[in-house]
Chains A and B, each alone.
Chain A
Amino acid sequence: MTDLNTLHAIASLVPQGSRVLDLGCGDGAMLDYLQRERGCSGYGVELDDANVLACVKRGVNVLQLNLDQGLTVFEDASFDVVLQIDTLQHLRNAETMLRETARVGRVGIVAFPNFAHWPNRLSILQGRMPVTKRLPYQWYDTPNIRVGTHADLAVLAQRNGLRVLDSFGLQDGHTVRMWPNLRAGTSVYKLAR
């Protein structure tokens, strides 16, 4: 999810000057943008060597840690905002990580591919797992080990006692507020304890 419109749409949810933790920060583009354009500070967490290197190159603080081993290095409410952009679907302990996100950050922002987006539904109706621009993998090689929908996350958030401050879909860089579970390839939630 590297397109600029999407990056800007999510960045606009982060208040000016926030202290940000970006879990699964990739090449650090989001943090770099938040630092330059919104006066934010903070750290990215990343496992992949090439991404860690890209962050160091950009001058973004990055910590090479495995999210599946938890967030024990971070204290409660030590960040204004914790971002989890296209990360949740790769984690074995997705539920724990959602709780941890809300523990460490005063606000958690989670974005992930919405499996209930209509092209995916269509594909399933035809009896095949979807392969789209948003979900470009075959069923046998996908790194997305947690497949969920926009509606599913609302249930999981409630189950864990998290308040949904805002939620919407993103499609082609545009915000989708009407029927996001059907019309958006990406689901976005703003959560708090």
Chain B
Amino acid sequence: MLIATPQTMCFDAPLLLQSGASIHGYSLSYETYGTLNADKSNAVLVCHALNASHHVAGVYEGQDKSEGWWDNMIGPGKSVDTNKFFVIGVNNLGSCFGSTGPMHTHPDTGKVYGADFPVVTVEDWVNAQARLLDALGIQTLAAVLGGSLGGMQALSWTLQYPERMRHAVVVASAPNLTAENIAFNEVARRAIVTDPDFHGGHFYEHGVIPKRGLRIARMIGHITYLSDDVMNEKFGRELKDAVLASANGYKYSTQDVEFQIESYLRYQGDKFAEYFDANTYLLITRALDYFDPAKAYGGDLSQALARTRAKFLLVSFTTDWRFSPKRSREVVKALLDNKREVSYAEIDAPHGHDAFLLDDARYMSVMRSYFDSIPKGLEVTA
């Protein structure tokens, strides 16, 4: 069993953010797995999505159930083989899992950031990750790998640091969010912001947590990560046992939990509200909304991707309607227009967006084969 050890790197120098603001005296939590080879050419950076962290693989000492969020993909002998690669997981700025975020103290004011935490973008995260690599003495990455929002970071890496990476593996992602996607994020944000316990984002000093808002945000998010088919298969119209026992078939109540799907969503919401930070949720969904590398090129993604040098693997899932295959194909097309090396797998999986975190033999084999084909050596393709 791979034992993971979280580490922290502190950065005193200010990091200029895309908004024009800057942040200094911050720290990043990270974990590494495997061994960096002598010429430092086998490093793989893993970027995380909304509800994940630097704890990508392995378990913590003495905690059997503490598997990393991509433990099925990454580890000794796994698709991304830590016997071959030196894998780095890093928690992004603004997160609530270790790196400096809204619940931490501003080094100048001594007060908790709360809503004053600067708005961070995908590009800012990538810059912060690059600084971590500098500190670790790694100039060039064998690959940057990410799913969903993590895939956006991998894509952004190919634009911000084309000379520092050889491969980009972008899973269940998109070149930007559609209006519908931004709309879902906005519903989640409104749920949080309108919770009376939110206090304009400064709820820490009131000793409360806007749990109602977080629960609803998670519920709507969860719906969009699944497919209609999977939800029907898993829950259908099943009723809770207590309801089944009632004489008239239903309870004829508007407020009781009667369907299994209601119960499941409430459970997911409750669980999430226990550990996730409300300001982090706002920050991360905003970073998703803003990401749009084509914006600076009048919406022309092909022009935007002209500066990429990496070799790409893109993977999408047929039933993913939040980050649909169509969006991955847009990236494929833009790469083709630039004559870049790219492979694209469209996995016929039933699980919706969640599929990128689940075991699927075809998905895992494609990932394994791609990483197996990554040659050793530092050359970046011209």
A: which residues have CB within 8 A of B? 19, 43, 49, 52-53, 55-57, 59, 61-65, 73-75, 78
B: which residues have CB within 8 A of A? 313, 329, 332-333, 336-337, 339, 341-348, 362, 365-366, 369-370, 372-373
Which of A49, A53, A61 sits near B341, CB closer than 8 Å? Answer: A61
Q: Is the CB of B329 within 8 A of A73?
A: yes
Which of B333, B348, B370 sits near A49, CB closer than 8 Å? Answer: B348
Q: Given A19-B339, A63-B342, A73-B329, does the pair A53, B373 have CB atoms closer than 8 Å?
A: no
Q: How far is the CA of A158 from the CA of B298 in the complex (A)?
A: 41
Task: With both chains docked as a complex, state the minimum distance between the C-beta of A48 and any C-beta of chain B, in angstroms.
Answer: 11
The B interface is mostly helix, strand or loop, or mixed, namely helix
Q: Is the CB of A64 within 8 A of B342?
A: no
Apart from the given pairs A56-B313, A78-B337, 12 other A-B contacts in the complex at a CB distance below 8 Å: A43-B342, A55-B343, A56-B366, A61-B343, A62-B345, A63-B343, A64-B345, A64-B346, A73-B329, A73-B333, A73-B336, A78-B336
Q: Is the CB of A49 within 8 A of B373?
A: no
Which of A56, A57, A78 sits near B345, CB closer than 8 Å? Answer: A56
Which of A43, A61, A65 sits near B346, CB closer than 8 Å? Answer: A65
Q: Is the CB of B369 within 8 A of A63?
A: no
Q: Is the CB of B373 within 8 A of A57?
A: yes
Task: With both chains docked as a complex, state the minimum distance between the C-beta of A74 and any C-beta of chain B, in angstroms.
Answer: 7
Q: How far is the CA of A57 from the CA of B347 in the complex (A)?
A: 16
Q: Is the CB of B343 within 8 A of A73?
A: no
Which chain B residue shows the least CB distance to A74?
A: B336
Q: Is the CB of A53 within 8 A of B366?
A: yes
Chain B residues near A73 (CB-CB < 8 A): 329, 332-333, 336
Q: Is the CB of B366 within 8 A of A63?
A: no
Q: Is the CB of B346 within 8 A of A59?
A: no
Q: How far is the CA of A52 from the CA of B347 in the complex (A)?
A: 10
27 contacts across the A-B interface (CB closer than 8 A): A19-B339, A43-B336, A43-B342, A49-B347, A49-B348, A52-B366, A53-B362, A53-B365, A53-B369, A55-B343, A56-B369, A56-B370, A56-B373, A61-B343, A62-B344, A62-B345, A63-B332, A63-B342, A63-B343, A64-B344, A64-B345, A65-B344, A73-B329, A73-B333, A73-B336, A78-B336, A78-B337
Q: How far is the CA of A24 from the CA of B333 in the complex (A)?
A: 18
Q: How far is the CA of A74 from the CA of B332 in the complex (A)?
A: 10
